[in-house]
Amino acid sequence: MLVVDAMDTMRKNDLQSLILTVNKRNHNAIEACHQYGFEITGDSIVDIGDGFVMNDYWMVLTNLSRWNT
């Protein structure tokens, strides 16, 4: 599982947070991230060219205590 692997990497490297960008219209991903303990802390709108715009939330996980991997 990707999140469990990320938690393991964080612990091994003494990292304190994990930040994801999640598309604002991807409600399933946002809900999944909330279930894993991520919180929305901001947003980002970036023009990536050719008429495409990345319109994302910044989602941060800082409480690693719930992960006992």
Q: Which domain holds residue 39?
A: 17-61
Question: Tell me, what's the pLDDT at 1?
Answer: 61
Query: pTM for this one?
Result: 0.79
Q: Which of 60, 67, 17, 15 has its CA nearest to residue 42?
A: 60
**Within a domain: 1:** no
**Within a domain: 23:** yes
Helix (H) or strand (E) holding 24: none
Q: What gap in Å lies between CA 56 and CA 29, rounded to an integer? A: 11
**Within a domain: 38:** yes
**Within a domain: 6:** no
In total, how many domains does the chain have? 1
Q: What is the DSSP letter of 49?
A: E
Contacts of 60 (CB under 8 A, 6+ apart): 17, 18, 19, 20, 38, 39, 41
Express each pLDDT in 23-60 by its tens digit.
999 999 999 999 888 999 999 999 999 999 999 999 99
Bridge partner residues of 20 (DSSP): 59
**Within a domain: 68:** no
